[in-house]
Structure 1
Amino acid sequence: MEALDEWLTTVREENAAFRAKTGAIKLAAFRAISYLLAMPRRLAKAVRGDGWASSVHDHQLPWLPLLPALKTTPMRDLRDHPWTQRLKQALPEIREELADVQRSFSLARYDSDLNPKRWTAYYFYLLGRPVREHLAACPRTAELLRQVPHNSFHVCFSAIEPEGSLHPHSGPINGSLVAHLGLEGCAGARIWVAGKSAEYRDGEVLVFDDSFVHWVEHSGTQTRYTLMVTFWHPELTWLERIFLKRVVRTAR
């Protein structure tokens, strides 16, 4: 994308505004608690010689301070997340239910107001809360979601119109990852994560770390539909997961 440096500046400014609104005391408490809860992982990595600190990447810009000592990879290897095969296997059933609810999509929470080709979504979970009427309308998809390790932050059907795009942005924390299952109309759709791109394909899964600045562009002729599933970074402890779930429920 052209003028990426300008977009990175915009993301930094948006995150700075969020942190200013959150307040220095809450951010300091978040940082202190996250470092305390991460101590077992930090010690284990230090013993193995992996070092104590998280690596730093210019494009990794979550809203909240980085959680320490987590593996940092913008695009993830599917072999590290074998449960994503369940998404692929359920593709025919998910598509059937998608067709039943396509007219019920609404403006996505993070849609770009700079792009007239809107990003719309049909939420199953948002910021830790279930959307019960949508789960009831798609019982087979709801059952699938009970079988995979989603964290309920942002789980939905997602749609981007032909020639549409989603401007560069980042997610709230580096402890949550994202899986996208291509459902239909994926030809011509591409995602960039930290400047590296990958093509969407019908029936295939992409996994990435949305704490890195990322964006989507769709040059195809059909609306691109995906199933979006957020899930925990596998290196998090169960205490960190409980803590982060409480934090994100109150974010933005």
Structure 2
Amino acid sequence: MTQQATPSPTGKPSQNFGTSGIEAMERPGFITRLLMGVVERVERLNLRHSKVGNPPVYDKATFPWVAEIEREWPLIRAELDKVLARQSELPSFHDLSPDVKTISDDSRWKTFFLAGYGLKSDRNIEQCPETWRIMQKIPGLKTAMFSIFEPGKHLKPHRGPYNGVLRLHLGLIVPEPRDKLAIRVSDQVCHWEEGKALVFDDAYEHEAWNHTDKTRVVLFVDFVKPLRFPASLFNWLLLNVAVFTPFIREGADNQKEWEKKFYAQAEALRNRPQP
């Protein structure tokens, strides 16, 4: 299925609010159903009041700060290399966020989480201080993490949970051959480049794949979509309520449990008697 922002019968832009063949990433319960109903209404408002239009993939020049992020990418890459020294111990995405199992249930999509929706991993940020400093240049930063696709990973077609944010991928490790590594957003197939950013709207159907024999890594960022009033107000409210939802709270709890084990193992190795 191809998903595009096409004019509705009223002449206003529209998006599909689901992905054919993929189970919705939502929970049962009255409060959750009520919240999802509000989200859909606000998403329609966001489409009408966007300051930057609603294309699936953006010209990165739309966001002047992107060039600053690209200039400093070698510092981010250097910190990533240290993280990947323990790549096998990093969590699979669905281990942190069980709802992701609807689109990925294997161990080939790993992540190193820095921050998301008001929550931070202080221990992980300590490992990547330059990356975190550079991330502060992004207006409306909501999520930052390393997204690691191991060889053979293919992420199924899906759409993101909410169109009030946009996504940036900064290429950090992009193996060859180019034609075996890509992301499709709506009907556009894009290829990552090391040191270059890709900005897109993950509320369009998208899928990504790494059919090479090496690991691909991008810096994965969500930032607030520039909107006019009143959409900007409702968007701010929803994004600040998100931290209280089961999606985010469960992910935060799983992240804390992983950190305890990961850093306890590192401490044990440091304190191991030398032969």
Q: Secondary structure at the residue paired with 2:61?
A: helix
- 1:83 is aligned with what amino acid? W
- 2:167 is aligned with what amino acid? V
Deviation digits for residues 21-46 of structure 1 (CA, Å, limit 9, x no counterpart): 655544455567x4xxxxxxxxxxxx
Q: Is residue 142 from structure 1 mapped to residue 132 from structure 2 by the alignment?
A: yes
Residue equivalent to 1:107: 92
Instruction: Call closer, same or farther: CA 1:65–1:239 in 2, change over 3 Å.
Output: closer
Q: Secondary structure at the residue paired with 2:244?
A: coil
Deviation digits for residues 185-241 of structure 1 (CA, Å, limit 9, x no counterpart): 343320011132101111111110011111101122210011011111122555344
Instruction: Call closer, same or farther: CA 1:119–1:236 in 2, change over 3 Å.
Output: farther
Q: Is the 8 A contact 2:92 2:107 kept in 1?
A: no
Deviation digits for residues 106-154 of structure 1 (CA, Å, limit 9, x no counterpart): 11143667564610010111233111111111111111111222432x3
Please, which runs of 5 or more residues in structure 1 have no aligned partner? 2-6, 35-63
Structure-2 separation of matches of 1:24 and 1:8: 18
Q: Is the 8 A contact 1:27 1:65 kept in 2?
A: no
Name which of 20, 28, 34 aligns with 1:9. Answer: 20
Deviation digits for residues 134-187 of structure 1 (CA, Å, limit 9, x no counterpart): 1111111111111222432x3101100112111122212111000000001343
Residue equivalent to 2:196: 204
Name which of 35, 56, 62 aligns with 1:74. Answer: 56
Normalised TM-score (structure 1): 0.74
Structure-2 separation of matches of 1:31 and 1:170: 13
Please, which runs of 5 or more residues in structure 2 have no aligned partner? 2-17, 248-275
Instruction: Call closer, same or farther: CA 1:144–1:28 in 2, change over 3 Å.
Output: same
Q: Secondary structure at the residue paired with 1:178?
A: strand
Name which of 238, 246, 249 aligns with 2:240. Answer: 246
Q: Deviation of residue 105 (structure 1)?
A: 2.5
Q: Is residue 132 from structure 1 mapped to residue 108 from structure 2 by the alignment?
A: no
Aligned length: 215
Percent of pairs with identical residues: 26
Name which of 148, 154, 170 aligns with 1:165. Answer: 154
For the pair shown, which has the larger CA radius of gyration, 1 or 2?
Answer: 2
Structure-1 separation of matches of 2:205 and 2:30: 21
Name which of 86, 89, 101 aligns with 2:71. Answer: 89
Please give the root-mean-square deviation of Cα atoms over the aligned residues, in Å.
2.9
Structure-2 separation of matches of 1:76 and 1:171: 16
Range with bigger deviation, 193-202 or 18-27: 18-27
Residue equivalent to 2:172: 183
